[in-house]
Structure formats: C-alpha cells, structure tokens
Chain A
Amino acid sequence: MGTFTRRRLAAVALVATTALLGATACGGGEDKAAADGPVTLTVDVFGQFGYDELYKEYMASHPNVKIVERGTGSNLDEYSPKLTQWLAAGKGAGDIVAIEEGLLVEYKANPQNFVNLLDHGAADLKGNFLDWKWNQGLTADGKQLIGLGTDVGGMAMCYRKDLFAKAGLPTDRDAVSKLWPTWQDYVKVGEQFKAKNPGAAFLDAATNTFNTILLQTAGNTSGYSYYDTSNNLVVDSNPAVKQAYDTTMDIIDSGLSGKYGSWSEEWVSAFKQGKFATIACPAWMTGVIEGNAGPGAKGKWDIAQVPGNGGNWGGSFLAVPKQGKHQAEAIELAKFLTSAKGQIGAFKAKGPLPSSPQALDDPAIVDSKNAYFSDAPVGKIFAAGAKSLKPVYMGPKNQAVRTEVENAVRTVELGKRTPEQGWTDAVENAKKAAAK
C-alpha cells in the first residue's frame, strides 16, 4: 500500500469520525418552521381518544396546522414510562401529551415540565369542566394548571347476554341491574351463574374489580384511597381499602374469577373466546371491550348498573410540555379538543365520557346509544351519574402503591397466598414502594 492511499485512508477515517460526532451532536434536529409557516403539532396519546374527526375539522379551519397523533391504541403501562423519559430528557415529547389521572399526581410534583395554562387564558374555561376535574389539573398550591380535562370514568357493569341466558339468568339490562344492588348480591348472582356451569367464569380478574370497589367505596366515604389528603400513606388504616379487599376476597373465595391477568394477552384472548360473563366497566372500558372482543361479539354484550353506588375510575388530561416548539398553537388545539364540542366528538367516536357539564347535558350525549352493546343507552347509563361522581384523592406515589396492593390481590387469586398473607404483603410492600 503506497503512502498516497494510506494518507487518503487516514483522511477518510478522520472525516468519518467527524461525521459521526456531528451526527450524534445534532441528532434529533427539529424542524424549525418560520413563525407563520406551516406548523406540525404532535399529540401523544394511549388507548383510544377518538380525536380523528376533530383533527380533520381543526386542520380545515387552521390551514397552517398539521396534526400527527402518536401512540394510538398503546397500553398505559408502555406509554407512561416513555412520556416520563421524554420529560426527563427535555426532548421527544409531543406538543400535546395525554396524561392519565394516576400519573398526573406524580407530574404535579414537578410542574416545571409543563406550560402553566393559567398564563394562557385557561382560567376562563373553568366553567367548562366539572369542578373536581378542573381542580385535579391544578398543582397543590393552585397556581399552575397542568392539564385540561378530557374524560371521566363513570362506572357500570358490562355483561354478556348469551352467557347469562345459558346460566338461566335474566338478560334484560334493567332486570340485570336489579339483580345486584350491592357487591354481596353480585357474588350471589355469580354463585348461581357458576352452579349452572356455563363454560365461562363470572368475571375476568379480581384486580380490576378490586379497583372498582375501592374507588367506589372511597368516593362514598373518605374521598381518598391509599393516601389521605395530607399525603400520608393510609393503606392499612383507611377502612375503604380493607373493605374493598375483603369484598374482593369473597369474590375469589367463591371461585368466580377467570384469573385472566388484566391487560395481558390471555385477557384479550378470553374476551375473544367469551370466557367470562361480566367485567367492571368504566365508560372508557366500552371501547376496550369492543376492540378486544372484536366485531364477532357485536350485540352479545350489554351494560347494566354497577353494584354498589357510582364511582369514578380513570379519566385523562391534555397538557402542553414546556419543551414544545409550538406552545401557542398547541395550547389552542388542546383547548379545542377539551371543549364541550371536542368531548362530544370523542365520545361519539370511542366512548370516553365527557368531563364537561355542557357536553354531559347535550342531547348528542344524553340520547346516545351504543350499537355494539345491544344499543344500550350509554348516554343515560354513564352521563346521568357523571355529574354526581365523587372523585377519589390520589397521593404522590399512588401508582406504585396501587401496583403492590393489586399484586397482592392477584397472588391470592392465583392461590399463592391466603387472604391474610395477601393483606400483610399488600401493606408491607405498599409501604416499601411509597418509601422508594
């Protein structure tokens, strides 16, 4: 090899090295649109928010805005760590991000990551939201509004008519609602169902039901679950938690659960194969059921009242991260999507129950029916109770603590722990998780 080629090689190596360094230095370069040029807004969501039609409408009236949605249909468990990483890295998050209420409490401790919507005229919108939904979006000192509410999770009980008929139970939704005024009645109905051996479990998994009972009991009593309103961990002293745990143990004892770990692949398969008859059903769950059970089960599902009384599970917010390049445009879009009109549009598309009282009163919601669920009057079932929903306060490590307690429920459900051992585990592990 002559010196000439060797020198050339050295030059190539040098250039390659520089290029690589350059690439790492400016990787992830953003499109820098001129102030009045076209703007692309990215909206990060999980699950189904039902915004497609609204985007089209908004883009038609704002020709300089292009909207891209990411994460549609993804699992909250996958979405939330990703979002947290984006926020921590100061890069990568969409211009608008959806935040579930359980996660919002953690983000509230670090509000510096988000635009204060109160600085951008959001205060005028207060009347557009249920009071508690508005307050949930505020930081503890009330000075910063992180997110505008999208939906709330009013509760019902979804059930399969064909399996109920097989077990000789009534199938009409009013008659079914009358079967279970309380959770004890629900267990009794389950035992009747099981006695007829219909080839399916009575409910999907104890964990979802546990969370439903807990949020309902807590909403009707103390107003908080694992943390009291001064952020003290009260998992072992709040009677609502123990009461919900004990009721769930009754369900497990009676052998009613199909033990399909919620959100797992088996859970999804069990939907498809009709392997359980009932599932606790916050408003947003209707979209999940339709997606999992598929078109083949259309008309087999119906919606009845939830045992016990009311309750709220879930619901989300739209926030604008500070790292965004087009904050003004993003705020405007977030306001549009969370307006009464936006919430009605989302409800019609995918079923999330509005958090705006105006939307809840709108005939488009009140009179709406869900064809998939045998034309159940979802407007009446969910919207009627939505305005009297009693929210449950959530403390800073709510998600981690909830994980531990639900895991303990799961170990009992799978027969790996007795109810007593499970409770000890729940309390111990919850304390450990809260301290982490």
Chain B
Amino acid sequence: MAVQLDARPPVRPAHRIARPGRGARLSRFDTKYSPYLYIAPFFLLFGVFGAYPLAYTFWVSLHDWDLLGAEHPFIGLDNYSQLLADPDFWHSVVNTLGIFVISTVPQLLLALWLANLLNRQLRARTTWRMAVLIPNVTSTAAVAIVFAVLFGREFGMINWLLDHVGVDAIDWKANRLASWVAISTMVDWRWTGYNALIFLAAMQAIPRDLYESASIDGASRSRQFWSITVPLLKPTIIFAVIISTIGGLQLFTEPRMFNSGTNAIRGGPLRESQTVTMYMFENAFAPHYNFGYGSAIAWLLFALIAVVAAINVLLLRRLGGGAARKEDSR
C-alpha cells in the first residue's frame, strides 16, 4: 500500500546556449523556482490553517488562560500534569476508544461484505454503488438528530420495536454501553458505504485469473473470498482502519447531537458518552472557559492519535508485508 512518489523535479538538460538573454534568464528562473510556486499554495494554507494553530494551541496550553481574562500567566506544564491526573479525562478517553472499537469492527466487516456483493454481476450496478454512498453525503447533524430521536427512551422507535419483541425499554442516553452502541450505529450508517467503495476499488484490482484458477481447482465462492479476496485486500483494510482511527478518535458531532438538553456537552449525567473532543470543548468553552486546559487536552488527543496511528502502521508493515509475500509465492 505504501506508495512512493518521486518528489524530485524532472532533470532538465543543461542549457547549451550560453548567451545570457532575457528569455534564457526567465527560463532558468522558471526551472529553478516554479516548482516551488506550484506547491506553495498547499504549504501556505497548511502553515496558516495547520501549523500555526498547532503551535498556538501549544503556546496557550502552557498558560492559565481564561478565555475572557485580560491576563494569561505562564504556568509551564501544569495543565498537562493536572490533566494526566484528571479521571474525567481518562473516562472520556475510554469512551472514545470504546465507541471507536464498537463502530469500526462491524463497520469494516459490513463494508467488506457489501463490497463483495457489489463486485458481483448485478443489474444496475452503478446505481447500487452510488446508493451506498448516499448516507455519507447527508449532513452529520441531520443524521445525528434523526438517530437521537430513534434512540429516545420513551418516544423512540428502537425502544418501541424492542417492546414488540418483549425486551424492556433501554435508556440509551443514560447507559454507558447502550449510548456507545447508539453512537456507533450513527457512525456506521454514515461510513460503511464509503469504506465499501474503497474496498470495491481494491477488489477490482485483483486479477480475475486468480479466481478462475481457484474455481478450476474447485474452490467455493466463500473459500475464494477468504483465501483470495481478503488476503489481497489487507493493505486496503489497514488503510481504512487508519482513516477510521483518525475520524473515530476525533468523534464529536454524533455524540454531541445525540445528547440534547442542558449541558449536552457532558455526554450524559455521568459522562456516559462524552468523547475527548467533547471534554475539550467543555473545558475550553462553556461552562469552564479554561482555554489553556482545553488546549492541553487538544495536544494530548493529538498524541493519542499519533500513538494509535503508529500501532496501525506497525500492523500495516506486518500484515501488508505478509500479503505481499503470499502474492509472490504464487
């Protein structure tokens, strides 16, 4: 999966004409500097909207920074040491990881299955392929509001259905595990189709003759899926995991909209479904307005994502390499 692009500019032959004319000077300027100009927009935008906020957030996190206060005394790493000992912070980390696992595992399995279906000879294939992407196009806030209503304790449809099959009503918002499941459903509804399309693209790159020879050898369809499709998809699966990691650890809109009413940012009275980003918001803005502490949370979240992403890269090396070896041995 690791794509190595050659980032160097193509080598141009040296100018044979030594006459230092205007055109030649311009041309030399062009050769030397225009590549930088082409890439400049990205780096300038990244500087303005990426690097600068990152550095500024770190600067803020070293201060006792009341959002409205006129003075911001420097306190070094106090915010960080306080944060590491803050049980509410770790509670939100567990929530975030829990929701991440509950949402990502079924999501990727479902996406794999969907992609496999879409890869077959279907009538109106393009329509189906477009259709799985529709949830991804709808606004997250709208999705979250609809799901929050579906998962209502008393007036929600899910509980109404559960009631019909004799299951007691679940208080989706006040039960930690139930709220994780409800929020994961929202995430999955939105992202399964997207991942299915990525898997589909990877599946189509698998040479068909592998399947042909497998069926000549008498392999069943499911055997072909597990022994050919899945191993060759591993790098793509890892890619999808990484993207889901980044999105999942920053989860905000779904749990925020799922909890409505007073102090929705707490994610329930006992912080049942408060994610790290929600905890950051609670501290940086209402009701604490402690911008310094909020910034420290943002940086620890950044570190957390880096750690989880690093674990994924290790997995990528191991599993991805494994898949490549298998391919070579064929």
Contacts and interface: CB of A to CB of B under 8 A. Distances in A.
Interface string A170-213: 00000000000000000000000000000000000001000000
Interface in B33-79: 33-34, 37-38, 40-41, 44-45, 48, 66-70
B327 interface: no
Contact of B266 (A3, A13, A407): A407
Interface in A240-258: none
A433 interface: yes
Given A20-B41, A267-B261, A269-B152, A433 B68 contact: no
Interface in A1-35: 3, 6-7, 9-10, 13-14, 16-17, 20-21, 24
Interface residues of B, number: 46
Nearest to A429: B88
A292 to B, nearest CB: 12
B252 interface: no
A85 B30 contact: no
B269 A410 contact: yes
A411 B293 CA distance: 26
A227 to B, nearest CB: 15
Contacts of A299: none
Contacts of B171: 414
A87 interface: yes
Contact of B262 (A20, A263, A265, A416): A263
A58 interface: no
B69 A110 contact: yes
A14 B37 CA distance: 7
A406 interface: yes
Interface string B146-182: 0011001111000000000000000101100000000
A275 interface: yes
B302 interface: no
A2 to B, nearest CB: 11
A424 interface: no
Contacts of A113: 68
A399 to B, nearest CB: 5
Contacts of B66: 110
A9 B38 contact: yes
Nearest to B176: A416
Given A20-B45, A77-B264, A261-B262, A266 B155 contact: yes
Contact of A13 (B26, B37, B261, B283): B37
A3 B30 contact: yes
Interface string B271-302: 00000000000010111111101000000000
Contacts of B45: 20
B41 A264 contact: no
Contact of A433 (B38, B154, B155, B288): B288
Contacts of B265: 77
A232 interface: no
A323 interface: no
A262 B283 contact: no
Contact of A265 (B48, B149, B290): B149
A84 B286 CA distance: 8
A40 interface: no
Contacts of B173: 261
Contacts of B152: 265-266, 269
A81 B280 CA distance: 13
Interface in A271-327: 273, 275
A260 B38 CA distance: 57
B253 interface: no
B148 A84 contact: no
Nearest to A269: B155
Which of A7, A21, A264 lies at the interface centre, i.e. has the most chain B CB atoms within 10 A of its CB? A264
A140 interface: no
A416 B68 CA distance: 36
A231 interface: no
Given A7-B26, A269-B152, A399-B287, A261 B261 contact: yes
6 contacts: A16-B41, A20-B45, A21-B48, A77-B265, A265-B145, A266-B153
Interface of A: 3, 6-7, 9-10, 13-14, 16-17, 20-21, 24, 77, 80-81, 84-85, 87-88, 106-107, 109-110, 112-113, 207, 260-267, 269-270, 273, 275, 399-400, 403, 406-407, 410-411, 414, 416, 433, 436
Given A261-B262, A403-B266, A433-B287, 19 more contacts: A3-B30, A9-B34, A10-B34, A10-B37, A21-B44, A81-B285, A84-B285, A85-B285, A110-B66, A263-B260, A264-B264, A269-B155, A270-B154, A403-B263, A403-B287, A406-B262, A414-B171, A416-B174, A433-B288
Interface of B: 26-27, 30, 33-34, 37-38, 40-41, 44-45, 48, 66-70, 145, 148-149, 152-155, 171, 173-174, 259-266, 269-270, 283, 285-291, 293
